[in-house]
Amino acid sequence: MAFFYVNSFLAVFFTSLAITSTRSLHALLYFMASIISIALCIYYLGSPFLAGLLVIIYAGAIITLFVFVVMVLNLKRPVENAKPFVPILIFSIFVFEFLFLLKKENFGLVLESKISHYDLATILFTKYGILVEVASLLLLAALIAAFHLGAKHKKRV
């Protein structure tokens, strides 16, 4: 139970650091730490598959896209001396939590829900089948929009 409170506090803390940070890259990395905390909360609530999905898609794809855009934009900021205290703190807290989760007696403590992945996949492709189609259409629309926004348009005379 303390596991959830510690992680929710960490998520709120990292989110507030993210929205107050003046440097975009730092804000993105704080948001990534917040995502990992939220994923650990979701793991506690009994959905380890969705926690993994959150880390893979949000931290692995979306934030990486943000970081890529920040690096492409090449915003000019003064270079400061790195302050390694907060990153080391974040890293050690997460390492401690992962070690906590890896202990065998903590497995049963964390997983409280009994919803299986099989049920999730079944409901996704039977009851929500039409919604999956709509989601794929939305992805196609986003793809076309991203291509259109990224393309170089010739100026009309």
Partner 1 sequence: MVPLEHVLFFSLLLFSLGLLGALLRKNLLMILLSIEIMLNAGAFSLIAISSYLQDIDGLAMFIFILVVAACEVAVGLGIVLKYYAKYRTLDVDAACELKG
Taking CB under 8 A as the rule, does residue 95 contact partner 1? no
Of 78 and 84, nearer to partner 1 (C-beta) is 78
- Residue whose C-alpha is closest to residue 2's, from 120, 141, 110: 110
Least gap, CB of 149 to partner 1 (angstroms): 3
| Of 61-69, 81-89, 94-102: span binding partner 1 (CB under 8 A) | 61-69
Q: Are 55 and 35 in contact (CB under 8 A)?
A: yes
Angle (deg, nearest 10), helices 129-150 and 117-125: 80
Taking CB under 8 A as the rule, does residue 62 contact partner 1? yes
Of 46 and 87, nearer to partner 1 (C-beta) is 46
Of 72 and 79, nearer to partner 1 (C-beta) is 72
Q: Are 65 and 33 in contact (CB under 8 A)?
A: no
Dist. CA 63–CA 119, nearest whole Å: 30
Question: What is the DSSP-derived secondary structure letter of residue 154?
Answer: P
Q: Quick check: helix, strand or coil at residue 75?
A: coil
Residues 44, 71, 95, 102: which binds partner 1 (CB under 8 A)?
A: 44
Dist. CA 53–CA 86, nearest whole Å: 26
Q: Which residues bind partner 1 (CB under 8 A)?
A: 1, 4-5, 8, 11-12, 15-16, 18-19, 24, 27-28, 31, 34-35, 38, 41-42, 44-47, 50, 53-54, 57-58, 61-62, 65-66, 69-70, 72-73, 75, 112-115, 119-120, 123-124, 127-128, 131, 135, 138-139, 141-143, 145-146, 148-150
